[in-house]
């Protein structure tokens, strides 16, 4: 009798877990469709124009350094466009649903607030993945064009693309966290500040080390560990010199991103579940 009950309970749990995943996937799919409908991927056209122009004209200006310039320009544009998408689309993910009052329809169904947030997050991550993949292919094609054939820089840009994508995933989570409790404008500003501070993290550490006051040292050391360390994801310049990060480095940064994103989404869910929509 007890065994049957345990089996039934386990079956119910498995079904519930599957249902949860299915609901998250459905929300993610819709978030991706919404981004496509909102013409977010149109930035790819601009990116392609930028790269095509650079491939044709940069040779004249760079003193024979067109391959380096194309990698720097292509990957920097990838990061910049991605940051704008992560911030401006990310902060609107939840807000738009509240503004249009569609959130009531969503929550009238058996969808948890955490599921809703994670689904939205994964939807935007999927949009960004498509974005960086197409851009990565674009940079590779530009390199093929300027080298008139195979270029040894092509395989070394992909680990840098992966790191850029991880940085964008971190920023998207941050944008979602801020948008779960504040207005889109403030969320965008705060996320952009996190992006800036995240690239200054090494300075925070050295600042902490140089300070005389113990409390100030603690504060800045705390901030160093608390804020996302985005400088770890900057591998554009080494990639332009044909250097790829070690597998261990990529694994460690991926693990850091995974843990950090999980924490941010947990906090966002906590804040969002206490929010009153009445």
Partner 1 sequence: MNNRTRTIALGLFVVIGMACAALLVHRIDTLRPPEDPNAIDESLYVNGKMARRISLGFNGLAADWYWMRSLQYVGRKIINAENLPIDRLEQLNLKLLAPLLDTATTLDPEFIDPYEYAAIVLPAIDVNEAIRITKKGIDANPNAWRLYHQLGYIYWQQHDYRSASEMYGRGAQIEGAPAWMEAMKAKMAADGGSRATAREIYTRMYEQSTDDKVKDMAHKRLLQLDSLDQRESLRKLFAAYQARTGRCPSSWKEIEPVFRALRIGVDASGAPLDPGGAPYVLRACEVELNPESEVPAK
Per CB under 8 A, residues contacting partner 1 are 61-65, 68-69, 71-73, 75-76, 79-80, 195-196, 199-200, 203, 230-231, 233-234, 236-238, 240-241
C-alpha distances in angstroms, 124 versus 48, 117, 119, 249? Answer: 21, 11, 9, 26
Tokens of 236: 């554009």
Please identify, using beta-carbon distances, which residue of 30 and 237 lies nearer to partner 1. Answer: 237
Cα-Cα-Cα-Cα torsion 90, 26, 134, 84, nearest 10 degrees, comes to 0
- Minimum CB–partner distance for residue 61 and partner 1 (Å): 5
Please identify, using beta-carbon distances, which residue of 231 and 270 lies nearer to partner 1. Answer: 231
- Minimum CB–partner distance for residue 206 and partner 1 (Å): 11
Q: Checking phi first, is residue 149 left (phi over 0); if not, alpha (psi -120 to 50) or beta?
A: left
Please identify, using beta-carbon distances, which residue of 118 and 257 lies nearer to partner 1. Answer: 257
Please identify, using beta-carbon distances, which residue of 111 and 162 lies nearer to partner 1. Answer: 162
- Minimum CB–partner distance for residue 142 and partner 1 (Å): 14
- Minimum CB–partner distance for residue 80 and partner 1 (Å): 8
**How far from chain centre, in Å, is Cα 216?**
31
Distance CA 143, CA 141 (A): 5
- Minimum CB–partner distance for residue 269 and partner 1 (Å): 29
Please identify, using beta-carbon distances, which residue of 77 and 177 lies nearer to partner 1. Answer: 77
Q: 96: burial class by Cβ within 10 Å (0-12, 13-18, 19+)? A: middle
């Amino acid at each position: 009798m007890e065994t049957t009950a345990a089996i039934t309970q386990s079956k119910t749990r498995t079904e519930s877990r599957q249902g949860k995943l299915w609901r998250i996937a459905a929300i993610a799919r819709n978030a991706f469709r919404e981004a496509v409908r909102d013409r977010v991927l149109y930035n790819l056209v601009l990116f392609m124009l930028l790269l095509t122009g650079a491939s044709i004209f940069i040779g004249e200006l760079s003193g024979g350094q067109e391959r380096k310039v194309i990698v720097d320009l292509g990957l920097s544009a990838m990061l910049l466009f991605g940051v704008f998408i992560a911030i401006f689309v990310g902060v609107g993910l939840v807000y738009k649903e509240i503004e249009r009052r569609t959130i009531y329809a969503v929550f009238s169904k058996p969808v948890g607030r955490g599921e809703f947030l994670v689904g939205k997050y994964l939807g935007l991550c999927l949009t960004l993945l498509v974005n960086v993949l197409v851009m990565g292919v674009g940079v590779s094609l530009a390199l093929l064009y300027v080298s008139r054939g195979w270029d040894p820089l092509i395989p070394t840009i992909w680990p840098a693309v992966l790191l850029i994508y991880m940085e964008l995933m971190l920023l998207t989570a941050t944008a979602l966290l801020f948008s779960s409790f504040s207005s889109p404008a403030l969320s965008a500003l705060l996320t952009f500040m996190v992006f800036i501070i995240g690239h200054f993290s090494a300075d925070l550490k050295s600042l902490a080390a140089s300070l005389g006051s113990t409390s100030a040292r603690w504060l800045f050391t705390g901030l160093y560990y608390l804020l996302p360390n985005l400088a770890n994801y900057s591998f554009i310049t080494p990639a332009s010199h044909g250097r790829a990060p070690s597998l261990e480095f990529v694994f460690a940064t991926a693990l850091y991103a995974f843990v950090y994103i999980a924490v941010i989404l947990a906090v966002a869910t906590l804040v969002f579940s206490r929010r009153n929509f009445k």
